[in-house]
Structure 1
Amino acid sequence: MSLYFRRLFNRRSPAGLVEISSNILVFDQCFSTDMLEEDELKPYIGGILKQLLARYSIDSLMVFNFEGGKKNSQTARIFSGYDMSAMGYPRNYEGCPLLTLEMIHHFLRSSESWLSLSQDNFLLIHSEHGGWPVLAFALAALLVYLRRCKDERKALETIHKYAPPGLVELYSPLNPAPSHLRYLKYVSRRHKSPELWPPADRMLNLNCAIIRTVPNFDGQGGCRPIFRIYGPDPLAPNDSSAKVLFSTPKTDDFVQLYTQV
């Protein structure tokens, strides 16, 4: 185990867990660029759980798991082996580093309610391989929601400090920070306008897309962007899976060459 993680450990937290804030515990592997193989995951999680359950009652723990994309979660089976049920949050929006507002609301309300029941209650949070961008947002949102951090940007930076450089880029080809900050502002408005939380689902129109720095995809400083918009089909309210709602037609009229000014 690296000295980096040893410095992060809170003294009252078992080894292998990072205490982000009071009574919010996260598995240290979530902040690592190293990927555990399937045969390594069970002894890793199991060893930490044994330490944790030697100190705290199983009834004091609420477990969340941010899934990495696989349909069958091995992590959930490991927790069930210790009679612990993990609430799973799937990453099923075509790599988008955010949950739906409904899921964000569920995570925040469940966490707040659990922590308010007793000062001896804990949140135990795990993220599978590929789930780091969603985990980073969820933890920052929780700090804002619980009023443990007043500034949205500072909350996000606080979580990123726990991770080594390059972890965000490893799991997300696009910079998720702008989207994270925009959604964190939705969360912070909960205290200013409780009646507007959670924000109601509504149709949005995309009028324009601004590319401030043109990617150099063609080797000559330009690119031909194709946009796709994913989301639940508004005509199928009972199906929450992501569908392609819009895609740029692949014709010369629409797929134009853009270069740096």
Structure 2
Amino acid sequence: MALFRKFFYKKPPDGLLLITDNIYVFDHCFSMKEMEDDHFEAHIRGIAADLLENCRDHSFMVSNFGTRKEESPIYHILSEYGMTVLDYPGHYEGCPLLTMEMIHCILKSSESWLSLGQHNLLLMHCEKGSWPVLAFMLAALLIYLGQYSDEQKTLDMLYKQSSLELLEIFSPLNPMPSQIRYLRYISMKNVMPEWPPADRALTLDCVILRMIPNFQGQGGFRPIFRIYGPDPLMPPDQTPKVLFSTPKKSNLVRFYSQADELVKINLQCHVQGDVVLECINLYEDLDREEMVFRIMFNTAFIRSNILMLNHDHVDMLWNAKDQFPKDFRFELLHMLQQSLLFIKRNKDLGLKNLLRS
């Protein structure tokens, strides 16, 4: 209960949940009930009117997660009340996380806003389906501001303010392992000379699976991999792309039995920045697929030539843990790219030779 002593010690305005003295969350974000558009607008306008009436000498900034390309409904409503509303995405390539660059931007702007004085309040909100990234960003902000230091407990505390069923509805995979990985990146702020560190370009050489999971009830599975992220050979364009996808009709695809204690699969994929790696079980018809696990990581924080994870460190389907052996381990071997320019020149040279032939 010690974690909760600093929380909820005074009554917040109606419709808001108090996180710290100057950070609030719209409480309907914690609910599984969906409001109709008209009811939602009336609800938000009521909260805004109460805030302006009871906190006349305060200023408000709202961080809203889950927005796509257009401005959010809450942006249009609260802007009428003179509130600054900042819209952010609700995921990165399907993961309820954001890029390290965007996380840093949100944390810095929030810290700057709150540091201007006690009369500056930060309100946090999410669109339908984006509760997991809101919970993550709340935990990230509390850790960044030095309110808490234990990544796991901080994230657990916030998720417990709602039903676990809400998290499962919005995220088919348990996102907490990757979220905790990113919270630990944030915790490194006080021990690194430069934070966040500059992105490093890596070549993902291969993956090693130790102790094979059991899918399809056949005592093994048929793994394929997909890797998403910005193309390190096109640095101006940070839009995530499919950087690697196992060809389904190739000798790379085969069934591995649990009798195979170790499986090594080559990748040879260049990555830089925020990377999503998916391991997928491909059915025998080479058409149907089932997610086995997913990880998201940032190359700037990789300090050795291997990333080793057990079944507690990968995002998997909520009911799939029993399909993984207790000693399951996933190893991602990689090497530092000494010169992206060298790689790009070789790539361009190969293209020129192909055009000449």
User: TM tier, shorter chain?
Assistant: 0.7 to 0.9
Alpha-carbon distance in structure 1 between the residues aligned to 2:9 and 2:45: 20
Alpha-carbon distance in structure 2 between the residues aligned to 1:155 and 1:60: 27
Alpha-carbon distance in structure 1 between the residues aligned to 2:12 and 2:208: 45
Q: If you compute each CA radius of gyration, which structure gives the higher value, 1 or 2? A: 2
Give the 3-state SS of the residue equivalent to 1:163 in structure 2. Answer: coil
Give the 3-state SS of the residue equivalent to 1:173 in structure 2. Answer: coil
The equivalent of 1:4 in structure 2 is none
Q: Name the amino acid aligned to 2:249.
A: T
Q: Equivalences for 1:1-261 in 2 at 5 Å?
A: 11-57=10-56, 60-69=59-68, 71-91=70-90, 93-193=92-192, 195-206=193-204, 207-208=206-207, 210=209, 214=213, 216=215, 218-220=216-218, 222-258=220-256, 260=258
Give the TM-score taking structure 1 as reference length. 0.85
Q: Name the amino acid aligned to 1:129.
A: K
Larger helix percent: 1
Q: Residue 57 of structure 2 contacts residue 119 of structure 2 at CA under 8 Å; is this kept in 1?
A: no
Q: Residue 10 of structure 1 contacts residue 18 of structure 1 at CA under 8 Å; is this kept in 2?
A: no
Q: Residue 212 of structure 2 contacts residue 220 of structure 2 at CA under 8 Å; is this kept in 1?
A: no
Alpha-carbon distance in structure 1 between the residues aligned to 2:203 and 2:178: 17
What displacement does 1:243 show? 1.2
Q: Residue 66 of structure 1 contacts residue 90 of structure 1 at CA under 8 Å; is this kept in 2?
A: yes
1:14-60: CA deviation from partner (whole Å, max 9, x where unpaired): 11111122211001121122233333321222221111121224852
What displacement does 1:109 show? 0.9
Distance change >3 Å, CA 178–CA 42, structure 1 → 2 = same
Query: Could you list the runs of 5+ residues in structure 2 that have no partner in the other structure?
Result: 1-6, 260-357
Alpha-carbon distance in structure 1 between the residues aligned to 2:58 and 2:202: 43
Alpha-carbon distance in structure 1 between the residues aligned to 2:157 and 2:33: 21
Alpha-carbon distance in structure 2 between the residues aligned to 1:16 and 1:209: 49
What displacement does 1:70 show? 6.2
Overall identity of the aligned pairs, in %: 52
What is the aligned residue count? 252
Q: Residue 58 of structure 2 contacts residue 121 of structure 2 at CA under 8 Å; is this kept in 1?
A: no
What displacement does 1:212 show? 7.0
Q: Name the amino acid aligned to 1:198.
A: P
Alpha-carbon distance in structure 2 between the residues aligned to 1:81 and 1:211: 57
Query: Could you list the runs of 5+ residues in structure 1 that have no partner in the other structure?
Result: 1-7
Give the 3-state SS of the residue equivalent to 2:75 in structure 1. Answer: helix
Alpha-carbon distance in structure 1 between the residues aligned to 2:257 and 2:170: 27
Q: Residue 212 of structure 2 contacts residue 256 of structure 2 at CA under 8 Å; is this kept in 1?
A: no
Q: Name the amino acid aligned to 2:28.
A: Q
Give the TM-score taking structure 2 as reference length. 0.64
Alpha-carbon distance in structure 2 between the residues aligned to 1:40 and 1:215: 47
Alpha-carbon distance in structure 1 between the residues aligned to 2:221 and 2:142: 39
Distance change >3 Å, CA 212–CA 99, structure 1 → 2 = farther
Alpha-carbon distance in structure 2 between the residues aligned to 1:129 and 1:260: 40
Q: Residue 59 of structure 2 contacts residue 119 of structure 2 at CA under 8 Å; is this kept in 1?
A: yes
Larger strand percent: 2
Distance change >3 Å, CA 17–CA 221, structure 1 → 2 = farther
Alpha-carbon distance in structure 2 between the residues aligned to 1:89 and 1:121: 20
Give the 3-state SS of the residue equivalent to 1:235 in structure 2. Answer: coil
Alpha-carbon distance in structure 2 between the residues aligned to 1:68 and 1:224: 36
1:166-202: CA deviation from partner (whole Å, max 9, x where unpaired): 2221111222111111111111111222x22112222
1:53-110: CA deviation from partner (whole Å, max 9, x where unpaired): 2122485211101115464522322222323231111135221111111111111111
Alpha-carbon distance in structure 2 between the residues aligned to 1:209 and 1:65: 39
Alpha-carbon distance in structure 1 between the residues aligned to 2:107 and 2:212: 35
Alpha-carbon distance in structure 1 between the residues aligned to 2:118 and 2:64: 22
The equivalent of 1:5 in structure 2 is none
Distance change >3 Å, CA 213–CA 38, structure 1 → 2 = farther
